[in-house]
Structure 1
Amino acid sequence: MADLLPVDDPGDARLADYRDLRDVQLRKSLEVENGLFLAEGAKVVRRAVEAGFTPRSFLMAPRWVEDLSDVLDTTDAPCFVMDEKQVERVTGFHVHRGALASLRRTPLPSVPDVLKGARSVLVLEDLVDHTNVGAVFRSGAALGFDAVLLAPRCADPLYRRAIKVGMGAVFSTPWTRLDDWHGALPMLSGLGFTTIALTLADDATPLEQAVAGQDKVVLVLGSEGHGLSPRWEKSADRRAIIPMREGIDSLNVAAASAVASYITMRR
């Protein structure tokens, strides 16, 4: 069982994992160097531990200790207990449903392992907003997608904000990063997937037509600003669009992923 350790000093060195969570660049460096990530909120903390990630420690307000007592019973990691105002001083913001956990990262699986048995896959190219990445994971998980692959420059799905927005979907959805960005889509086509790029290209067809009758489908979504790179747009097997009312040419990538996932899973 976790040791419950009352702490009243926001400067306590034992709280280093949780300090200054608003500073994205600082957090990226700290989390990569120390092989950790943070989960925020009682539900997300629970899902992370249940998914098999090993806790380094917990930080929570007293009223959340009982709610997470069954989770704390499974580990000997320390649980630092602080007043909610003090937790806010440590993290730099109000922690929604005042519980946090620092957990150890695990090595990413190989692409073949992630794709084993998969029929519906999301592939993300250069999404740099953690909120969008989390939302895409959540939509994919909710609508039955089997896996997610990320280009090297995509935002980290295990960043706190991505995990929170995705409600922990990153813990239940197999995912990894693509090493070979240049040849990624032809590689997936060679594995029997029909790769379908969401794009405004002139030859794009309505998505419902593009996915009709296809067994194994990869939906390819591009960055928030410029969409897909010309390389990925051209190397996809098909180019597709979500038909929209005249005058509106596109959706936010998170919204587009939800609509596209729904259409694809109805095939």
Structure 2
Amino acid sequence: MPAVPVWDPHQYLRHADHRGRAFVDLLARVPEPPGGPAPRIADLGCGPGNVTTLLAERWPAARITGYDNSPDMLERARKLAGPTSGGGRLDFAHADAVHWAPDPAAPYDLLISNALLQWVPGHTDRFADWIAGLAPGGTFAFQVPGNFDAPSHALLRELTGSPRWRQRLDGVLRHGDAVREPAQYLAALAALGCEVDAWETTYLHVLGGDDAVLDWITGTTLRPVLAAFDGDPEERDAFLDEYRIALRRAYPAAAHGTVLPFRRIFVVARRS
């Protein structure tokens, strides 16, 4: 059975500026909610809450709830909870996107999700429940990484499937089809009666420091692998040394930093 990732807010936030950029770009395409000056907003997979606060900046009178299934992330996020500048409220609560659904009797004006759905198997099957939990004219918006074919992920799959690590790490990683293509998301949501805007962007993140790509991946993709090595630091370090060498070859450092190309997929679906 795959190891359950243990999230580290501090490690995740080491690249907060780069990670948050996609949320800002997504938010720029979200239309005004139908709920007037005080819309109800859900941030599904809020993590440490750093980007959830951007929702309060745009809609200071909104009633915003950030949901996550990581106790460590929620502990960090709850430090940001409280009244907002326009008389709204920012709160955080535990929820697992695999099972969570809005109450149709108390619909949201905006459901937004940032880099979560790749962790939710069969997440397109959840779309109908989530759209049903939106007010008429409400919006479901999300972004997911589209880089599962990138060297960072291909090398990791190759390494975990090698003779030395195959038995211990079999089934730990997500499959390459953890996300769909933009056209597939568009078709799925259009079939639910939504007006859909879907696109993709490849960012060229310039990272500083030694082994910058490994440091980035340690905050996200590597979490299940690290969990599988829990209690065995020698084997963990041996695995990381192999992976580090492969990443250095694939992403050579330059005087200006290490360039990490990162493709992301964006979708904004408005309920008719």
Please tell me the TM-score bracket, short chain as reference: under 0.3
Give the TM-score taking structure 2 as reference length. 0.27
TM-score of the superposition, structure 1-length normalised? 0.28
Larger Rg: 1
